[in-house]
Amino acid sequence: MRQSIILSAVLMVGLLTFSPVNFTAAQSSTDSARLENEPYDKNELIIQFKQNTNEKTKQALIKSISAVEASKLTDHHFSLLTLPKGSTLEAAAKSLLSHPEILSAEPNYKLAHTYIPSDSEYSKQWYLKNLNLPDTWDLPKGKTVIKTAVIDGGVQVSHFDLKGQITKPFNVITRKKTLLPNDHGTHIAGVIAAVQDNEGTSGIAPSSKIIPVNVFREEEADIYDVAEGIYYAIDAGADIINLSLTTDAYTNILDEAVQAAAARGIVVIAAAGNEHTAKPRYPAALKNVLGISATDKNDKLASFSNFGKYIDFSAPGKDIYSTISENTFGTMSGTSMASPMVSGVTALILAKNPFLTPSEVLSILKESSTDLGPSGWDPQFGNGKIDAHKALVNTPESMSTLELSDKSFTVEGSNKLNISFTPPKDTTISLYVENANGQTIKKMLTNQASTGEPISYNWDGKLDNGSYQSSGDVKLVIKTANARHSLITKKSLKVNNTFVPELTVSKPNYLYSPKAQAKLSIPIRLNKDAVIKAVILDNAGNKVRTLQKNKPFTGGRHTLEWNGTNSNRSQLKDGNYMLNISLIDSDGRVGSTKEIPIELDTVSPSGSIVNSDKRFKTTEKSKIENTITVTESVTGSVSIIDKNGKIVNRLLTDTSFKIGQSSVTWNGQTKDKKAAINGDYRFKVILRDKAGNSRIIKSPSFHLINA
């Protein structure tokens, strides 16, 4: 069964002021008798603290009027208070406002949906053609998924025409993700983002997402919950906030929430209201909010639509066919429907260029709008009726075309490729090269701040690993990002590398002991991709082991390893060997053969030690001397050990000893510079040769006597 409904007045609530106490500076005193007829909760008060008020002071002030803090927006210094029975808002506000810590005290205004039945004979979705959307959808679509927060009644997230369009739903009332479907919220969501799948309706921006935020208790909502919904939308990453709700009461809490969204670069769009009056309605009349009036099929101001100084644009709002609850569709009317028209077109603009600021979006909409009233801005249509096609045509690309000085780049050392582009301002830019596997092989720019000025970079073909890019295809990549979005721009490049493959090593020769090290590691570097053959030859030039047999290596740093064995994995004798490395690239260019001498040495160093005395009596200047004799250049570590082999003091660590004799002395102190106890001690020496072979020798014991 199809449902056909019109939404009349958006969300309506009267201006509430108090006499003689003003709740906020924006309100003026009126006849106090009017209070009795205004929609607000007579038991709730919204207060705002100064920013630096501590929690103890806050609670003391709340307690001073015997109120209970029902909820609070901690980061924004607002609290919702429940007053005790018998209290009046006027008295409570007067008491709190006498304290300098209180910036404002406001009623918790109520808002409600109202519906008017409608004839269902209107052409379905007439507004799509009216906004030039069919032509718009033929234009190249933006790559960015834009998220619009619909702060309203609950959206039917399971509606088949909203499949895949919902993200991060939140119910402010229940604090859960589950939403109770509501016709009004579902209708707005469909206007913006219903899917294009040849079934049901089509949203204005079908590639966008909806963040549905329920702020209603059945048909009623209040200002505090709406403000909280806005803060949730900010944190959820909304790009656009649609507010198809109104009140004629200015409130500080709603104003601050809207300004917080604008400060984060979010475009805030609100319905003007349906009372056919020029009286300001909020949030549409707030600064940094686009106020939207409604038009009909004939581009006339809808009979119900508000108008006035706060109108920025107009959009279709009468007899709008869209999604409603229970997987059906219906017709609604109201500025509630006009607001999501502008939200949908804004989503198309931001999908093309997500780095636009709200003021830049406003300029594009102004430049693209159709002037319906007197020339220029007027209070009925604002800057005119939005035009989706013109808006998207007038939206600049997020980045200028990535220009390359050559389509095919020859790498030869001195040749350079010029890369130029103009990024959007207030973003960060990363420029890099990817190989065929999508791996980053050259970083040129990393998170560089953009001022919007042209950027030029010259690349000689060298990669981060120090080699040059081999012949083949690569992609130049630009990543543009701001706080909410990032875009990737890629351009293919064919590279021709004319270099002959070359290999370099860090050392001309190596000395290796398999006893000291499990493997000999030989670092190499290639100037480009190449196939390597590496073999070990003995002193007579005979091959004894193949380390690599025609294995492809990428350009850059690598390591060849050998454990001193032959092809049968048997340990080779000490002696001189040669590592022979040959290489060839994919184009058949043969590099010079590299020969690296390797000496195998498994013999431990020899040496002897002699003490200067068998007894050592300590004085301030006395020392015992030990003479160390070695037959080859080594490094040595010398310690004093007690009779149990425990180290008492370390005298030398990794010290070079030349061939011949060297002496080491000890003054009888421990490593913490205290006198060692009387007893027997030894010098312990660890010798290591250049191949890493080691030998431990100990001196004869000597007796220490402390004076």
Nearest to 605 by CA among 518, 489, 689, 487: 689
Q: Where are the alpha helices (DSSP H) in 98-222?
A: 126-130, 133-137, 183-193
Strands 440-449, 147-152: pairing kind: unpaired
672 given a catalytic annotation? no
Tokens representing 382 are 């604002």
Distance CA 62, CA 69 (A): 7
Q: In degrees rounded to 5, what are phi and psi of residue 622?
A: -75, 145
Copy the structure tokens of residue 266.
């979010």
Contact 171, 151 (CB under 8 A): no
Q: Which amino acid is at 582?
A: S
Sequential DSSP letters for 485-543: -EEEEEEEEEEEE-PPP-EEES-S-EEE-TTT-S-EEEEEEESS-EEEEEEEE-TTS-E
From 104, 113, 152, 339, the catalytic residue: 152
d(CA 72, CA 67) in angstroms, rounded, equals 13
For the chain, how are helix, strand and coil distributed in percent, rounded to 5? 15, 40, 45
**Does the CA dihedral 238-244-248-249 come out positive or negative?**
negative
Q: Taking a C-beta distance cutoff of 8 angstroms, is the pair 131, 392 a contact?
A: no
Q: Is the peptide bond before 169 cis (omega within 30 degrees of 0)?
A: no
Q: Give me the catalytic one of 184, 187, 389, 485.
A: 184
User: 3-state class of 368 per DSSP?
Assistant: helix
Decide: 267 and 339 in contact? Cβ < 8 Å: no
User: Can you say how many angstroms the Cα of residue 224 is from the centroid of all Cα atoms in its chain?
Assistant: 30
Task: Decide if 405 is catalytic.
Answer: no
Which of 322, 325, 336, 582 is catalytic? The answer is 336
The SS3 of residue 339 is: helix
Specify the DSSP class assigned to residue 641.
E
**In Å, how far from its chain's centre is CA 182?**
34
Q: What is the CA radius of gyration of the chain?
A: 41
Residues in contact with 263: Cβ distance below 8 Å, sequence separation at least 6, in sequence order? none
H helix or E strand, kind and range, residue 363? helix 358-368
Tally of residues, the chain: 707
Catalytic residue list contains 378 = no
Find where tokens 């808006």 sit: 391
Number of Cβ atoms within 10 Å of the Cβ of 90: 17
Catalytic residues: 152, 184, 336
